[in-house]
Amino acid sequence: MSTELSTLNKTYGDEDFDRFYAVSRYLIQVGQLHTAEVILKGLTAVRPDKALGWLGRCYLHAFQAEFEELLDAARQGLKAEPRDVGLRIFLIIGLFALGDIAAAGTELGEVGELLELSPPEDAAVYRLYKSQLARYQNQR
Amino acid sequence: MTTDRSPLHPDPFAQAPFFCLLPDRITSLSLESSRPALFARLEHILAMRSNTSGLDRDQEKNLILEEAMLRELLQFSETLAEQKRGTS
């Protein structure tokens, strides 16, 4: 039994994983949040080493104003992919919501550096970062 | 992403400002080629869950989460296939 479990994470290759994530993203897009959540929880259970599953869970937690859970999901994702800008922005959203302005400021600095090194393909990501930066400057 | 998305739905949830943080990399949502593997994996999990003596709590919890995920993916795949049949 333990041998079977040790191979469990290898059952889903990157291609399968990406396709299942795409399904969950689509379900979010059309408002089927519960179904998306079931898939994303499964994905993070079988492949906790992939940031995309955690990103999806962050979205759902942020959307449902579950900020403690949002922070937890973002931190789990960052263990897998420390340079993921999306996860860091979700972390910032959670930190602001829970009133930890100083930590949000630190994370904003990190995101700024990452964006300088590698500008996002989607300009909306940059705008979201700027909006969080403005929020920090207003609250400081 | 433009393929396999019929019928089209409004995207109210895509309007949340942080939706842009979810990358859109895959062009097809079809799970047709994955269905045999999904079924096989589901059967395997059901067999494992019928004898949980060798599993710790976390492992059992993960199997439950994986089983739920597989059922939803298979259901989604079936719905997509039905939509395709309906439009062809």
Q: Give chain A's domains with CATH numbers.
A: 2-139 (1.25.40.10)
Contacts of A109 (CB under 8 A, 6+ apart): none
pLDDT at residue A2 tops 80: no
Q: Residue B51: list chain A partners with CB under 8 A.
A: 1
Residue A38 CB coordination number (10 Å): 20
pLDDT at residue A1 tops 60: no
What's the gap in Å between the CA of A40 and the closest CA on chain B? 8
pLDDT at residue A5 tops 60: no
**What are the tokens at A122?**
């989607």
B:2-61 residues touching chain A, CB 8 A cutoff: 5, 9-14, 16-26, 28-29, 31, 34, 37, 41, 44, 48, 51, 54-55, 59, 61
User: Does A129 contact chain B (CB < 8 Å)?
Assistant: no
pLDDT at residue A101 tops 60: yes
User: Does A60 contact chain B (CB < 8 Å)?
Assistant: no
pLDDT at residue A77 tops 70: yes
The amino acid at residue A49 is D
What's the gap in Å between the CA of A48 and the closest CA on chain B? 11
pLDDT of residue A132: 95
Considering the entire predicted model, what is its pTM?
Answer: 0.87
Between A68 and A3, name the one with better pLDDT. A68
Percent of chain A with pLDDT over 90: 83
Judge whether A83 and A119 are in contact, CB under 8 Å: no
Judge whether B42 and B72 are in contact, CB under 8 Å: no
Between B28 and A133, name the one with better pLDDT. A133
> How is chain B split into domains, by residue range?
29-87
pLDDT of residue B27: 67
What's the gap in Å between the CA of B39 and the closest CA on chain A? 13
User: Does A122 contact chain B (CB < 8 Å)?
Assistant: yes
